[in-house]
Amino acid sequence: MTKTIVIVATLDTRGDEAKYLKELIEKKGCKTIVIDPGVLGEPYFQPDITREEVARAGGKSLKELVEAAHCGASRGSATEVMIRGVTKIVKELYSAGKLNGIVGIGGGTGTLVETSVMRELPIGVPKLMVTTQPRIEFVGTKDITMMHSVADVVGVNRVIRRILTNAAGAIVGMAEVGGEIDRGGKPLIGITCMGVTTPCCMNLIPLLEEKGYESVLFHSKTAALEELVEEGSIDGVIDVTLGELLDLHVYPRPIPEEPPPRIDRLWSVGRKGLPQIIVPGTLDMIILRNVPPELKNRKVSMHSPIVWLIRTTKEETAKLGEVVAKRANATIGPVAIVMPLRGFSAADKEGHELFDPEADMAFVEAVRKNVQKQVDVVEVDAHINDKEFAEKVVSVFYEISKRKARKKTSD
């Protein structure tokens, strides 16, 4: 079957390049659909989906946007309309089976528009952005391939021709083999992981395989996992690494280039009714790039030359126990909190820098006190990275996965 590649580019400023890319892709045997989200200048050639159609899909007429711009309205308001419009159109094309890959060309604003659209497509759908600004914040949690244009994308010169030729080959190649995540086969279990809980996660994988499950690990930040849960690509979660709860409830990390943690941490899985194991991995540490004055009296461990692990107090772990219990209580699916009594991370083991059994027990006691009867609470006399702990986690997960989700009554 002939594949269809969607090209998104403002044809007033990137029209020459978009036309060249379109011709390259079509020479390779694919169809193209060109979408123009430009606003002010005249398009270089006639697209398949015009800027007028994009504006209408975004809730405004192009005339309104042009008039607002001439009256001094910010460029951002028009950009938001065009993002909404292109997103709506692209999602409709994908649902209709008319999109096998998407490629964009742009500078700063173009990259913002086009990657915003790409982030709305499922993981696995080929996404390529040819850009003057290949920054990670444009990628978000999705599998967007960023191709640096090297030179500014203004005119088809010998440098840009080479880049666009590579881009055409890349998106056509990805479209030939790409597609969204296969939902068939073994149940897929999402596991959260970080360096200090990696041994636990590595122990879990073969044990889950023995029970007929497939595993996928997500490092530290969990927005991607939660998006896959919402899409229906994940069948259960073993949440080993809860460090984001510290950012939300104990000590926000002052690192502006990192995305903020999701405020619904642990709740998205619960709302879907999936079987879920909650483990207090990394709740023993605040992770920072330096040790601020107010924390210098704490136990600390240097994880790397630029990362410090700072021990949480009994008061902080007790608060986190309340948070975890409350979120587990709100879960409509089968859920268990499985707690290792001999430490929550590699740094929190007897003989290591963050070892503090009293602080760990404050978490355990808070869970005991606040959890409701529908939540299983399992205490394991082992360290989080011990094999026997992983064995217990998988055993509990296997048992609770047989249960049905309960009807939601209240949060």
- 45 falls within a domain: yes
Q: Are 100 and 194 part of one and the same domain?
A: no
Parallel, antiparallel or unpaired: strands 307-311 and 4-8: unpaired
* pTM score: 0.80
Report yes or no: 5 and 100 within 8 Å, Cβ to Cβ.
yes
Say whether both 169 and 197 belong to one domain.
no
- Asked whether residue 355 is domain-assigned, the answer is yes
- The mean per-residue pLDDT over the stretch 354-368 comes to 98
- Do 160 and 194 belong to one domain? no
Please indicate, yes or no, whether residues 224 and 368 belong to a single structural domain of this protein.
yes
- Say whether both 95 and 167 belong to one domain: yes
Q: Are 170 and 238 found together in one domain?
A: no
Residue 405 lies in a domain: no
Decide: residue 370, CB within 10 A, 0-12 exposed, 13-18 middle, 19+ buried. middle
Specify whether 72 is located in the same domain as 206: no
β-strands 307-311, 285-288 pairing: antiparallel
pLDDT tens per residue, range 157-207: 899 999 999 999 999 999 998 766 666 689 999 999 999 999 999 999 999
What's the CATH code of the domain at 341?
Answer: 3.40.50.12030
Residue 409 has pLDDT above 60, yes or no: no
Count of domains for the chain: 2
Any domain includes 391: yes
- Across the range 22-33, mean pLDDT stands at 97
| pLDDT at residue 58 tops 90 | yes
Task: Based on the fold, state whether residues 27 and 128 are members of the same structural domain.
Answer: yes
Min mean pLDDT across 169-173, 214-218, 256-260, 310-314 is at: 256-260
Residue 171 sits in a domain whose CATH number is 3.40.50.12020
8 Å CB contact between 286 and 301: no
Q: Last residue of some domain: 177, 210, 245?
A: 177
Report the pLDDT averaged over residues 34-49. 94
pLDDT, mean of residues 280-290: 94
Question: What does the block give as tokens for 23?
Answer: 């011709």
* Position 406 in a domain: no
Say if residue 14 is in the same domain as residue 122.
yes
Question: Bigger pLDDT: 258 or 82?
Answer: 82
Residue 289, domain member (yes or no): yes
The dihedral over CA atoms of 104, 107, 112, 117, expressed in degrees to the nearest 10, equals -10
pLDDT digits (tens, 9 = 90+) for 8-20: 999 999 999 999 9
Q: Which residues contact 233 (CB under 8 A, 6 or more apart)?
A: 122, 123, 181, 183, 188
pLDDT for res 257: 46
pLDDT 10s digits, 107-141: 999 999 999 999 999 888 999 999 999 988 899 88
Residue 287 lies in a domain: yes
Which structural domain range is residue 231 located in? 188-400
Regarding whether 371 and 267 lie in a shared domain, the answer is yes
C-alpha distances in Å from residue 348, one per residue of 48, 345, 359, 385: 59, 5, 10, 10
Q: What does the alpha-carbon distance between residue 105 and residue 315 come to, in Å, rounded to a whole number? A: 51
Q: What percent of the chain has pLDDT over 90?
A: 73
Residues 160 and 195 in one domain: no
pLDDT of 251 higher than 90: no
* E strands, 232-381, in order: 236-241, 276-281, 285-288, 300-304, 307-311, 335-340, 376-380
Last residue of a domain, one of 152, 177, 202: 177
Whether residues 155 and 258 share a domain: the answer is no
Task: Tell me: pLDDT of 411 over 50.
Answer: no
- The answer to whether position 292 is within a domain reads yes
Say whether pLDDT at 407 is over 80: no
